[in-house]
Amino acid sequence: MNIALLLPVVFPIVMGVLIQPLKLHDRKTRQIYVAATVIINFLMVLFLAINAPDGTKMTILHLNRVVDISLQIDGMSRLISIIAGFLWCTAAFYSFEYIKHEGMDERYFTFFTATVGVLIGISYSANLQTLYLFYEMMTLITFPLVMHSMAEQSGKAGKKYLTYSFVGATIALAGFFFLAEFCETTDFKAGGTLLLDKVNGSGHMLLFQIMVLLTIIGFGCKGGMFPLHAWLPNAHPVAPAPASAVLSGVITKMGVLAIVRVIYYMVGVDFLRGTWVQYVLLSLTLYTVFMGSMLAFKEKLFKKRLAYSSVSQVSYVLFGIMTMNPTGFIGACLHIVAHATVKNILFLSAGAIIYKRHKTYVTELKGIGKEMPITLWCFSLASIALVGIPPTGGFESKWYLATGALEAEIGFFSYLGPAVLLTSAFLTAGYLLPIMAKGFFPGADYPYESFRKTEVNAYMTVPLVVLTVIAICSGIFVNPLYNFFSSIAATIF
């Protein structure tokens, strides 16, 4: 069982690297190859999630007497790896049709396929050095997806993505050395491994707190948290739609996972709860939630509006984590599922519209529901879920986020948090629901006699429909998810 942890990491990386040497120039052959790779990989992830007990560990390499590269299964790795594996399958099938629009298929699928192996590596990381290794690999291997079109705008966005990612990772690395010094081990352990007596005795408590804060801010770059968020609204609009979908739905969650590992599996909530560090982090997350919503509300470029929405919505998750309260943590985990699903739907819907109708601005979408009804229905239901209207998964997650804030002993943030989340929900409705309304009800000046239905084919439609069903059902049948996340929370609080 231990060696099996390595398979879903190595398998897609090797298969992705082999695409060009195997000269899979025939499009149908390449599609079968990629589909088989991502499906087999997801089945391996699912098998491990179901059968591997918590604590199953494999050491890949001993770097020195105390540092090793290791993989391990626990509740958080199950959650993130299943999300990554499944969403990669839906994005892959969608890409088979969409990438014809972009070209350079072989290069795209090389990096797309290999990326999921790196993400599973982050999910399964047993310690901070393993996570950091795969975290840096993730930046390098996703950079070509951002740069795919090779246009001038893509080049600028790609450089910004690299710059922000490396700055964030470097800041996190500086904190890593402090954590390694003052923690019993760099291995992830529920509840944390901090040697509090050593920190107190060192006389460097304030410096250690600052370094923990900087580590979290550094990893927050991938999650789009202020002040290292600016790469996200530039990278998403220029990347191919399926790459934008997984960048927003999955890649951002790797930053979230890294923060969870630092707070709950290394430092421990007892050290941070009630300190100035917690209040600074709560302030940053709430500012990001509000700022992202306001910028999305004002933005007219379709995919950029969705990108700003991701800036806001991922910080919902981070806010729940920063409450350092079991209910808030459960709400954060529920929102990981809701946002990952919904944001994939929204970006894939936008991609379908761009692919079929070549419309890139919100003002051009009047009547799109007449022309592409399935696409806009999926977009509309996903929008409702993101706003947080029952019975969707977005409602359940936001309910527990607000409840967790009210339960937590975080002073006025207990009330400011729910107020900001509610304000953001209204803004979300303001920048998403008018697209639905004007799309289905374009008004009297719309040329009803001449419009034609131009829906995308099954490669693009089926992933949209499947994800939409999940977005709704994750709210209706929330109890299994709640119970699973409660079991994770019970180990860290």
Q: What is the DSSP string of 443-456?
A: -TTS-TTT------
Of 166, 167, 193, nearest in space to 180 by CA? 193
Q: CA–CA separation, 192 vs 318, rounded Å? A: 18
Query: In this structure, are residues 367 and 448 in contact, taking their beta carbons and an 8 Å threshold?
Result: no
Return the structure tokens found at 480. Answer: 């299994």
Q: CA–CA separation, 175 vs 30, rounded Å? A: 43
Q: Please give the pLDDT value at position 26.
A: 81
Of 362, 126, 117, nearest in space to 250 by CA? 117
Q: Please give the pLDDT value at position 202.
A: 82
Q: CA–CA separation, 241 vs 347, rounded Å? A: 6
Of 54, 66, 73, 64, nearest in space to 6 by CA? 73
- φ, ψ (nearest 5 deg) of residue 71: -115, 150
Q: Please give the pLDDT value at position 443.
A: 82
How would DSSP label each residue in 84-141?
Answer: HHHHHHHHHHHHHHHHHHH--HHHHHHHHHHHHHHHHHHHHB-BHHHHHHHHHHHHHH
Q: Domain coordinates of the chain in residue numbers?
A: 283-493
Q: CA–CA separation, 489 vs 345, rounded Å? A: 28
- φ, ψ (nearest 5 deg) of residue 222: -65, -25
CB atoms within 10 A of CB 282: 23
* Predicted model pTM: 0.95
Query: In this structure, are residues 386 and 471 in contact, taking their beta carbons and an 8 Å threshold?
Result: no
User: How does strand 57-62 pair with strand 68-72?
Assistant: antiparallel
- φ, ψ (nearest 5 deg) of residue 214: -65, -35
Q: CA–CA separation, 435 vs 151, rounded Å? A: 28
Query: In this structure, are residues 451 and 86 in contact, taking their beta carbons and an 8 Å threshold?
Result: no
Q: Please give the pLDDT value at position 1.
A: 59
Report DSSP state, residue 204. Answer: -
Q: What is the pLDDT along the chain (493 residues), one digit of tens a residue?
A: 588 899 999 999 999 999 988 877 788 899 999 999 999 999 999 999 999 999 899 988 887 777 889 999 999 999 999 999 999 999 999 999 999 877 788 899 999 999 999 999 999 999 999 999 999 999 999 999 988 877 778 888 889 999 999 999 999 998 888 888 899 989 999 999 999 889 888 888 999 999 999 999 999 999 999 999 888 888 888 889 999 999 899 999 999 999 999 999 999 999 999 999 999 999 999 999 999 999 999 999 999 999 999 999 999 999 999 999 999 999 999 999 999 999 999 999 999 999 998 898 999 999 898 889 999 999 999 999 999 999 999 999 999 999 999 999 899 999 999 999 999 999 999 999 999 999 999 887 877 766 777 888 999 999 999 999 999 999 999 999 999 999 999 999 9
Tell me if residue 406 falls in helix, strand or coil.
helix
Q: Is 424 exposed, middle or buried (0-12, 13-18, 19+ CB in 10 A)?
A: buried
Return the structure tokens found at 365. Answer: 């979408």
Residue at 153: amino acid letter:
Q
Q: Please give the pLDDT value at position 449.
A: 67
CB atoms within 10 A of CB 20: 13
Q: Please give the pLDDT value at position 82.
A: 97
* CB crowding 334-363: b at 16 or more within 10 Å, else e: bbbbbbbbbbbbbbbbbbbbbbbbebbebe
Q: Please give the pLDDT value at position 236.
A: 80
